[in-house]
């Protein structure tokens, strides 16, 4: 029994879902349109303002795909209705971030600046207020794309456990380690 897969997705106002013959689900909303190809074995039904995902058999593969595609369709519906937002915080002396034309420029303590092109589907903003750490804010409708871009940015300077320097999500708790203790004489 798939608890996630059996949940019915209720469509918010202004969002429409359509399923093509080749099992491609497209979701249209106020923020844009997303499409996702669904495995041919899975059955996607749209009834009024409800979307149901059904599986043909109780095979292990079908059970796994059942919950997966229900979650993917739900994420698309939330994305075109409300959108997604990820905030990254850059902690460290001299660490900076600037954004120009969807190109992110990072100064992360290396001998060179890092330039990263951000996909056009994502809205990129940076803030650096006095007394606070610089922030990189990613906004868009595709949850998977925002997550992968945020993970790539985070991997450029991972948070180290001794001083806590690096790139982290806002609100993320980093486990800190004690430094080496002074030797006794």
pLDDT tens digits, residue range 162-180? 999 999 999 999 999 888 8
What's the mean pLDDT in 86-90?
Answer: 95
The predicted-structure confidence for 31-57, as pLDDT tens digits, reads as follows 999 999 999 999 999 998 999 999 999
The predicted-structure confidence for 127-140, as pLDDT tens digits, reads as follows 999 889 999 999 99
106: which 2 tokens?
A: 């990072």
Find residue 39's DSSP bridge partners: none
The reported pTM is 0.88
The reported pLDDT for the residue numbered 86 is 96
Contact assessment for residue 123 and residue 139, using Cβ atoms and an 8 Å cutoff: yes
Contact assessment for residue 139 and residue 152, using Cβ atoms and an 8 Å cutoff: no
Domains of the chain: 9-82 (3.90.930.12), 84-169 (3.90.930.12)
Q: At 2, is the pLDDT very low, low, confident or very high (cuts 50, 70, 90)?
A: low
What's the mean pLDDT in 91-100?
Answer: 93
DSSP category for residue 157: S
Q: Tally Cβ neighbours within 10 Å of residue 64.
A: 13
> Above 90 in pLDDT, residue 5?
no
């Amino acid at each position: 029994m798939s608890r996630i897969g059996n949940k019915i997705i209720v469509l918010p106002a202004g969002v429409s879902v359509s399923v093509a013959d080749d099992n491609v689900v497209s979701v249209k909303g106020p923020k844009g349109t997303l499409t996702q190809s669904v495995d041919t074995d899975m059955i996607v039904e749209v009834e009024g303002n409800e979307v149901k995902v059904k599986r043909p058999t109780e095979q292990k593969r079908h059970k796994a795909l059942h919950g997966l595609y229900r979650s993917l369709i739900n994420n698309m519906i939330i994305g075109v209705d409300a959108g997604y937002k990820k905030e990254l915080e850059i902690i460290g002396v001299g660490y900076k971030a600037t954004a120009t034309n969807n190109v992110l420029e990072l100064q992360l303590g290396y001998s060179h600046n890092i330039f990263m092109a951000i996909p056009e589907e994502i809205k990129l903003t940076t803030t650096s207020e006095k007394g606070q750490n610089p922030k990189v804010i990613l906004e868009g409708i595709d949850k998977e794309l925002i997550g992968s871009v945020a993970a790539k940015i985070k991997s450029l300077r991972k948070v180290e456990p001794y001083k806590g320097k690096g790139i982290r999500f806002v609100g993320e708790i980093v486990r800190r380690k004690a430094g080496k203790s002074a030797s006794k004489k």
